[in-house]
Amino acid sequence: MHSEITFTLDGERVSVDCNPLRRLLDVLREDFNLVGVKEGCGEGECGACAVIVDGKLVNSCIVPVGAVNGAEILTIEGIKKTEIFGKIADAFAQMGAVQCGFCTPGMIVATYAILNQNPKPSRKEIVEGLSGNLCRCTGMNIIIEAVEMAAKNIAR
Amino acid sequence: MNEFVYLPENLDEALEIRASTGAVPIAGGTDLMVRYRRGSGIPPQFDFPVVLIGKIDALRYIEVSADNIHIGSATTLTEIFMNEDVPQILKLAVGEMASPAIRNVATIGGNIGNASPAGDTLPPLYILDAKIVLKNLNGEREVPIEDFITGPGQTILRSDEIIYEVTIPIGNFDKIYYRKIGTRKALALSKVSFSAAVNYRGDVIDDMRFAFGAVAPVVIRSREIEGEFKNITFNELKNREGEIAQKYSPLINPIDDQRSTAEYRRKVSLRLLKFFIQNVI
Ligand SMILES: Cc1cc2nc3c(=O)[nH]c(=O)nc-3n(C[C@H](O)[C@H](O)[C@H](O)COP(=O)(O)OP(=O)(O)OC[C@H]3O[C@@H](n4cnc5c(N)ncnc54)[C@H](O)[C@@H]3O)c2cc1C
Ligand code: FES
Ligand code: FES
């Protein structure tokens, strides 16, 4: 069964005609070639596939594309074009918060969501905001510090 | 194999689809999409028709009336957590569930509909005397949550109904307590949870409610046992701790699974009860 599903993707109006149960993750990667959206666990536990839907962080691996009809979706590619992306990326690089890089797009999307909600997040808010993201290479403490540094540099 | 997926625009359409096809509701999909996943690049396959209801506005609200607070079934856990009118004990439980990305889509109706003994909104809802409002094309009915859930994954939902609302009587507790024991929070379903709410006058207990999650086929709340320990003082309560634990013990009937063992669950849940009586109250 196919349905036409229309949404805004990184600022552009798009539509797909497909099985509405396809995972948003697959639609983003296959139909729009947004391969920065990663698949780790495929069951909502690692955050590698995180995107922002209508201003909220979600894991695209467990969202059926039919559920985002009419929604606004921001992926890591859209975030790259925002002003604060450079500061977040610099902080991650400076802190050594990237090793293999697989978790990084999801971490940055989660960081964006944290800073969007509160530009001066407490450490507790950062820990909570990153709690759905796993990194198997670096330590979470380094990533948490990178987010703190990004927040500071943005405020400056 | 049935590939039917319905995308209703509003509640009436959703109810018509339920009535004519029995399609299974998907709200946030955080339970169903994971349970029926098939892997990378492949849509999940349900062997029944499904209807997506997560975007229906008429199911997403939190309202306060004279005696109750009303939560629409497709309200997300994040929306519940951010709301000022939601009873604190429910918020304590929601705050310990999953990660922000899951809470942003997971719904309270889904947690109830899933009817897992480890569903974390359930023990607070039992304690709060929550009622579940079920709707079909002909009207609605209201049932206490403990009558709605009949076993693990089992409810009395009829094939033409949807969970419409959770109704919670407005009330205040002098003391509430919630404790969840799990592993990594973002993915841990509870191994055990313990919830308590107490009202007192001076040092006499007026009303004391306990609920245990993940230790039996359904959440444990016993109004009978609660009734036996009313109108006693805190001191008397502390002295009778062993007696209370003994009364709950036969109700606690856990299983071994990948998350924990039955023995661990039994010990920990009774210890949480004793800790609450001795140190929190
Ligand atoms: C990574 C991860 C972590 C999790 N952590 C927790 C946790 O800590 N605690 C916890 O309790 N759960 C947890 N869960 C499970 C899940 O997120 C919750 O049970 C959630 O509340 C389900 O809501 P949903 O809307 O996503 O459910 P769905 O998957 O949409 O539905 C679940 C069930 O309810 C039924 N249903 C949904 N809405 C209705 C309705 N309106 N009327 C009738 N039936 C309905 C569906 O048919 C289905 O049977 C976790 C899940 C994941 C993937
Ligand atoms: S791939 Fe989606 S959360 Fe892990
Ligand atoms: S850098 Fe490798 S998983 Fe995080």
The pLDDT tens digits for B58-73 are 999 999 999 999 999 9
What mean pLDDT comes out for the span A19-33?
Answer: 98
Instruction: Kindly indicate the confidence band of residue B185, based on its pLDDT and cuts at 50, 70 and 90.
Output: low
Contact list in A for residue B105 (CB cut-off 8 A) is 56, 58, 62-63
Percent share of chain A, pLDDT over 70 = 100
The CB of A135 under 6 Å from ligand 3? The reply is yes
pLDDT at B261: 80
pLDDT at B2: 46
Where does CATH 1.10.150.120 sit in chain A? 82-155
Please check the confidence at residue B157 and state whether its pLDDT lies above 90: yes
Structure tokens at A2: 């196919």
pLDDT at B263: 84
Where does CATH 3.10.20.30 sit in chain A? 3-75
pLDDT at A156: 86
Torsions phi, psi for B204 (to 5 deg): -105, 130
Percent share of chain B, pLDDT over 90 = 88
Q: Does A142 touch chain B (CB under 8 A)?
A: no
pLDDT at B281: 83
- Supply the Cα-derived Rg of chain B in whole angstroms: 19
User: Which residue has a Cα nearest atom 4 of ligand 3?
Assistant: A135
Q: Are B154 and B146 in contact (CB under 8 A)?
A: no
Our CA-based measurement puts residue A102 at a distance from the nearest CA of chain B, in whole angstroms, of 16
Torsions phi, psi for B235 (to 5 deg): -60, -45
Q: How many angstroms separate the CA atoms of B55 and A115, rounded?
A: 26
Q: How many angstroms separate the CA atoms of A37 and B215, rounded?
A: 38
The pLDDT tens digits for B190-203 are 679 999 999 999 99
Instruction: Kindly indicate the confidence band of residue B207, based on its pLDDT and cuts at 50, 70 and 90.
Output: very high
Structure tokens at B79: 């929306």
Strand partners, B50: B5, B24
Asked if A1's CB is within 8 angstroms of B4's CB, the reply is yes
Q: Are B187 and B224 in contact (CB under 8 A)?
A: no
Distance (angstroms) between ligand 1 centre and the Cα of B32 equals: 7
Q: Are A56 and A122 in contact (CB under 8 A)?
A: no
Residues 6+ apart with CB under 8 A from A9: A28, A32, A73, A75, A78
The pLDDT tens digits for B99-143 are 999 999 999 999 999 999 999 999 999 999 999 999 999 999 999
For chain A, the distance separating the N- and C-terminal CA atoms, rounded to the nearest angstrom, is: 52
Asked if B55's CB is within 8 angstroms of A50's CB, the reply is no
Helices and strands (H, E) in chain A, number of each type: 6, 5
Asked if B50's CB is within 8 angstroms of A3's CB, the reply is no
Orientation of helix A85-95 relative to helix A104-117, angle to 10°: 120
Please check the confidence at residue B43 and state whether its pLDDT lies above 70: yes
The pLDDT tens digits for B74-94 are 999 999 999 999 999 999 999
The pLDDT tens digits for B230-247 are 999 999 999 999 999 999
Q: Which ligand is nearest to the CA of B39?
A: 2
pLDDT at A91: 98
User: How far apart, in Å, are the Cα atoms of B272 and each of A81, A91, B116, B123, B238?
Assistant: 50, 43, 21, 14, 14
The pLDDT tens digits for A76-97 are 999 999 999 999 999 999 999 9
Distance (angstroms) between ligand 2 centre and the Cα of B155 equals: 30
Residue in chain B lying closest to A47 (CA): B101
CA angle, residues A57, B193, B185, in degrees to nearest 5:
30
The 3-state DSSP class for residue A98 equals coil
Distance (angstroms) between ligand 2 centre and the Cα of B152 equals: 26
Amino acid making up residue B265? R
Please check the confidence at residue B32 and state whether its pLDDT lies above 50: yes
What is the CATH number assigned to the segment(s) A82-155?
A: 1.10.150.120
What mean pLDDT comes out for the span B49-56?
Answer: 97
pLDDT at B264: 85
What is the reported pTM?
A: 0.96
Q: Does A148 touch chain B (CB under 8 A)?
A: no
> In sequence order, what DSSP letters do the residues of A102-127 get, joined into one string?
SSHHHHHHHHHHHHHH-SS--HHHHH
Strand pairing report for A12-18 and A3-9 = antiparallel
Q: How many angstroms separate the CA atoms of A36 and B162, rounded?
A: 38
The partner residue sitting opposite B33, judged by closest CB among A53, A62, A133, is A62
For residue A132, give the ligand 2 atom closest to its CA.
3
In terms of Cβ atoms closer than 10 Å to its own Cβ (0-12, 13-18, 19+), residue B16 is: middle
Residue in chain A lying closest to B2 (CA): A1
Asked if A44's CB is within 8 angstroms of B34's CB, the reply is yes
Size of interface A-B (CB pairs under 8 A): 97
Q: How many angstroms separate the CA atoms of B191 and B260, rounded?
A: 6
Residue A122's CB: how many other CB atoms inside 10 A? 11
Contact list in A for residue B38 (CB cut-off 8 A) is none
What value does the mean pLDDT of chain B take? 94
Structure tokens at B41: 């690049």
Torsions phi, psi for B102 (to 5 deg): -75, -45
Is A3-75 a CATH 1.10.510.10 domain? no
Distance (angstroms) between ligand 3 centre and the Cα of A97 equals: 8
Please check the confidence at residue A45 and state whether its pLDDT lies above 80: yes
pLDDT at B191: 79
The 3-state DSSP class for residue B248 equals helix
Q: Does A72 touch chain B (CB under 8 A)?
A: no
